[in-house]
Chains A and B, each alone.
Chain A
């Protein structure tokens, strides 16, 4: 379209009026510039201006120096709509605060919602919702149903339905149940109503890792009692932690877990988690309970006392709104187990219960390796037994004798008949499940904390003194001084020689 302006200039110039046409006088031009002319007269002036260049120049020059109209005084502010008056600075600040509160609420509650939306949570919810009358004191069956879907805490719930299991497991369960009952009673004694009993039962059910480990092969062995914090990935702890640590007992070539030394354990505490180091330095509890129990999340007293809070608590439990504080992802029982005895066991549990450890190599943290670390309680860690639970015996081997202490610093020979036959070299105790070995590949096993002993025969060609016992739920691995490794997957009934 560049050609048209040139054409236009030419034709417009051709239509310019000559000098002969009468120009508007100064009055009319002034009136036109001041817009005081009538419309008809104004059109006439405009038409003349369109064709008269001198008059356009006059108008342009005159308007260029025209005094700009003074600013008119506004007598009243412009009317503002009523709804616009709401948008005051105070309203804006309040709206900002409200928005931030909503965002904070959503950020804090979203992980919990995701947790309860999982299939496990749905099972728990349905179970609890279907039996609202049983909420204060849930029946064992209900507990079992809940245990199927819940996280590690619920998986260690009392296993009454498992009573129909094979006899061997029933035995193991009985011992576990007794241990569980011991812990549960301690908690229940502090709780008055059924709500407290429920919370205590959950805590207690999570307590004995031995019972939990014996319950099934998929039961988590490593568990701790770190309360969930908001900055922790709760989804991982609640839904994945137990599965990640599930030992695969069928895998027989797993390397044993490294046996931590005392010094190394302490350094691990210091480097892995400062909080755990603080807990490890706690003095003994005057009540005789395990100090490690302090790691278990404390129950808010206000939620235990008033009935309203109790109802709200049970309702929240039914709906799956587990409080991050009340739902430890790592079980307290792993740390409060009296059978684990010495701090070496404690340290081993703690090391594996750290979130970083779990996330870094959860698949390697199997039950056997865990038990390997727990074997420290046999001898080396015995002097620190005062930190353990007073209800569980503590074992050690001294001068070829198997010694047992009930926590009163009084040691007794736990297997006096062996003095003439064998010389003990190693003991492994997990609760009331005690394995002890000595010279000539001798191995004895007690399921009742040393009350009764069974002699276990490894194999015809077993030789050497037993130097290591790694006991899991049903799997036991024994090493002798002749570099023989015997393994049993059925609790010691049959043994296979793995390597020599």
Chain B
């Protein structure tokens, strides 16, 4: 009596269509293996989604690159040939763009290439890093991000593992002892007022402020990160600063200060904050990042 296919059949038809769209058959993937991959992706990002929502989510994935990556992870030669043809040179170029230096770039790219191939084994099977590619972004973009993450992790480890000789070269043994005079604590009312004002900002505004004041990013970099023009970032920064000052002063006034006292507190604490902020920034930032700033 029923003319249409049942949901399970419809899902199977759609899955088959997605598989055909991905071209996974060329790389040696089966429809079943591809369905497992899609289900894995849906569980990770939309675990509570209905079959229809999953289907819509899958349609937005980079199916062809997902099939290629998973075929490579499964060890299909055709997939590896296609991957190397498309991304081998790009991988080196991306690494060179990140490290700004050839040998480091080759080292970084080779390291990632080994991870992609899978040098470690788990339960008798090679574990390829391509198994973590979920197809939400392009494979090239994913490779770029992974390379950047590897680069950041590598230098964060390097920062922690400084040899004693390097410490001696840096003059750590001659560094001044910490001052016994405690730094005047920041007025709690001022910190509370500022935290309150920052909490009212949107995530993007806070990202702009952090990128500009903490990371010393250029307006172009911040604009690229947020997806707007640099002139917009400039205007937004000016506007944000004015708004923050107004809100902090209002917060201080609401906490029992008059206007003059609020402005005096805002200026007086700067002298202590300058030392504190510098130290804070030097603690959390890898030296390599600061070197990279100069190249931009």
Contact = CB atoms under 8 A, between A and B. Distances in A.
A5 B210 contact: no
Given A12-B198, A15-B198, A61-B151, A33 B270 contact: no
A289 B241 CA distance: 97
A65 B248 contact: no
Contacts of B132: 25-27
18 contacts: A1-B241, A5-B241, A9-B273, A10-B186, A13-B280, A25-B134, A27-B142, A35-B227, A47-B207, A50-B203, A50-B207, A56-B210, A56-B217, A62-B148, A64-B296, A65-B98, A65-B144, A67-B140
Given A26-B146, A53-B215, A54-B152, A16 B284 contact: yes
Interface in B221-249: 221, 224-227, 241-242, 244-245, 248
Contacts of B198: 8, 11-12, 15
Interface in B65-123: 93-94, 97-98
A1 B249 CA distance: 12
Contact of A31 (B137, B215, B270): B137
Classify chain A: how many residues form its interface, as a range: 35 or more
A9 B216 CA distance: 11
B148 A34 contact: no
A26 B149 contact: yes
A61 B137 contact: no
A54 B156 contact: yes
A61 B194 contact: no
A33 B136 CA distance: 11
B191 interface: yes
B135 interface: yes
A209 B71 CA distance: 119
Given A47-B203, A50-B203, A50-B206, A30 B138 contact: yes
Contact of A58 (B93, B142, B145, B241): B145
B141 interface: yes
Nearest to A63: B224
A67 B94 CA distance: 9
Q: Is the interface of B mostly helix, strand, loop or mixed?
A: helix
B238 to A, nearest CB: 10
B285 interface: yes
A57 interface: yes
A43 B202 CA distance: 9
Contacts of B267: 3
Given A12-B213, A49-B207, A57 B152 contact: yes
Interface in A43-77: 43, 46-47, 49-51, 53-54, 56-67
A62 B209 CA distance: 20
A483 interface: no
A4 B252 CA distance: 14
B217 A60 contact: yes
Residue from B141, B191, B209 with most neighbouring chain A CB atoms (10 Å)? B141
B273 A7 contact: yes
B20 interface: no
A476 interface: no
B276 A64 contact: no
A66 B141 contact: yes
A418 B276 CA distance: 131
B137 A33 contact: yes
B211 interface: yes
A29 interface: yes
Given A36-B136, A60-B217, A61-B148, 12 more contacts: A4-B244, A7-B194, A11-B191, A11-B198, A13-B214, A15-B198, A34-B141, A43-B203, A53-B215, A56-B210, A63-B221, A64-B221
Contacts of A54: 152, 156
Contacts of A58: 145, 148-149, 152
Q: Which 5 A-B pairs have the closest CB atoms?
A: A30-B137, A65-B97, A47-B203, A50-B206, A50-B207
A13 B191 CA distance: 12
Given A47-B203, A56-B215, A58-B148, A9 B277 contact: yes
Nearest to B195: A11
Contacts of A60: 211, 215, 217, 221, 225
A6 interface: yes
A4 B280 CA distance: 17
Interface string B158-188: 0000000000000000000000000000100
Contacts of A31: 136-137
Nearest to B217: A60
Nearest to A41: B45
A10 B276 contact: yes
B210 A12 contact: yes
A53 B284 contact: yes
Contacts of B97: 64-65
A56 B248 contact: no
A109 interface: no
Contacts of A7: 190, 194, 248, 266, 269-270, 273
Given A13-B214, A36-B136, A36-B137, A46 B204 contact: yes
A66 B144 contact: yes
Contact of A3 (B186, B195, B266, B281): B266
A446 interface: no
Contacts of A5: 213, 241
B250 to A, nearest CB: 14
Contacts of A273: none
B269 to A, nearest CB: 7
B145 A9 contact: no
Nearest to A65: B97
A28 interface: yes
Given A5-B241, A26-B146, A30-B138, A12 B274 contact: no
Contact of B289 (A9, A57, A67): A57
Contact of A34 (B138, B151, B270): B138
For A1, A31, A46, A67, the residue with the greatest tally of chain B CB atoms inside 10 Å of its CB is A31
